[in-house]
Amino acid sequence: MDVHEYQAKELLASFGVAVAKGAVAFSPDQAVYAATELGGSFWAVKAQIHAGARGKAGGIKLCRTYNEVRDAAKNMLGKRLVTLQTGPEGKPVQRVYVETADPFDREIYLGYVLDRKAERVRVIASKHGGMDIEEIAEKDPEALIQVVVEPAVGLQQFQAREIAFQLGLNIKQVSAAVKTIMNAYRAFRDCDGTMLEINPLVVTKDDRVLALDAKMSFDDNALFRRRNIADMHDPSQSDPREAQAAEHNLNYIGLDGEIGCIVNGAGLAMATMDMIKHAGGSPANFLDVGGGASPERVATAFRLVLSDDNVKVILVNIFAGINRCDWIAEGVVQAAKEVKLSVPLVVRLAGTNVEAGKKILEDSKLDLITADSLAEAARKAVEAGKAAKQ
């Protein structure tokens, strides 16, 4: 799960990481009020979306007057911000963050990531702040400073000092940087983070070290014990279909193809998508109905898949173990009748109660296409999709 910049900064500040003063606003007038409360004469107005590269897309504006603050907020709120990380559809801006824009001397990159291959937390830093980590790695890979944290002891002070000295900081700045590096690690660890990026981490003229921007992602499976973080979830930043799927405990990811997939099991879903590509088609989604798919959940899955206007055919591929084919068949029949199916439907059933499932489909008199193998089902789905386009 991702959170907004202002939420990440609230978490970091609670662990002792220094951040600039700021306030969130949901309207232009609130943005002006926030600027007056913060004081000063120079502010940054930042669009709050779950994506980076906002500055290049006009999502960050520096303002010197209250009128400029109001205009910046007005131009952002209610719009969709398209950045290099959002894709062409962009993300809606429903709130802005107004922050004091303190002058600074240097920008640094600092990041923490859960390295699943090493099964360790990896700390990454660079002298080149304000750039995407991919850009830094491509242009100057030797500039990356990396430390792998031993989980039994955690990040140590001497490791943080080594990072700070390699960043070229002076003695006074090193002390502040070590405190920031250690406290940010504690926030990452104690909140079950999977990614924390402070970019840029800035050094001010009076040798303070501030997190000028922050992005955090968290382990969804740990949110049950992090209710304060779970409450930060913003559904507007997710695909509405994915949000709807989560409400019904369905695993759904929207794609850009034309063959809607309803499958039980993540591995089988991936194999189904691969087979569709192999047959010359393109999957419209990843959808795993899970091991205990009832007829009601299958019907919900149908409605979810059909909410994508690009879907030209639906492929149901079920290998029943915990599930039962007759349950799935009942769900298929129920869904087809409820949603008044208008696209070709290809069904492949195998496993527990497969014969009973096939009989239910046959007795339903539905106009559907059956298949005995995954390869056959994928081929028939691609053929049906091509026919539907003609």
Please report, in range form, the residues annotated as the binding site for Mg(2+): 199, 213
CA neighbours closer than 13 Å in the CB half-sphere of residue 190: 11
**Binding-site residue positions:** 46, 99, 102, 107, 199, 213, 264
Of residues 280, 331, 335, the one with CA closest to residue 306: 335
Beta carbons within 8 Å of 210's beta carbon, 6+ residues apart: 18, 19, 20, 102, 104, 201, 202, 204
Cβ 181 vs Cβ 164: under 8 Å: yes
Residues making up the annotated binding site for ATP are 46, 99, 102, 107
Residues 209, 178 contacting (CB under 8 angstroms): no
Active-site pick, 197, 252, 258, 330 = 197
Please state, in angstroms and rounded to a whole number, the distance separating the CA atoms of residues 362 and 349: 13
Q: How far apart are CA 100 and CA 44, in angstroms?
A: 6
Catalytic residue among 97, 109, 185, 252: 109
Q: In angstroms, rounded to a whole number, what is the distance separating the alpha carbons of residues 93 and 179?
A: 33
Nearest to 258 by CA among 343, 342, 339: 343
Nearest to 3 by CA among 318, 257, 317, 232: 232
Strands 345-351 vs 285-288: parallel, antiparallel or unpaired: unpaired
Q: CA–CA separation, 262 vs 276, rounded Å?
A: 13
* d(C-alpha 115, C-alpha 102), whole Å: 34
Bind-site residues for substrate:
264
112 is catalytic: no
For residue 33, indicate whether it is catalytic. no
* Catalytic residue IDs: 109, 197
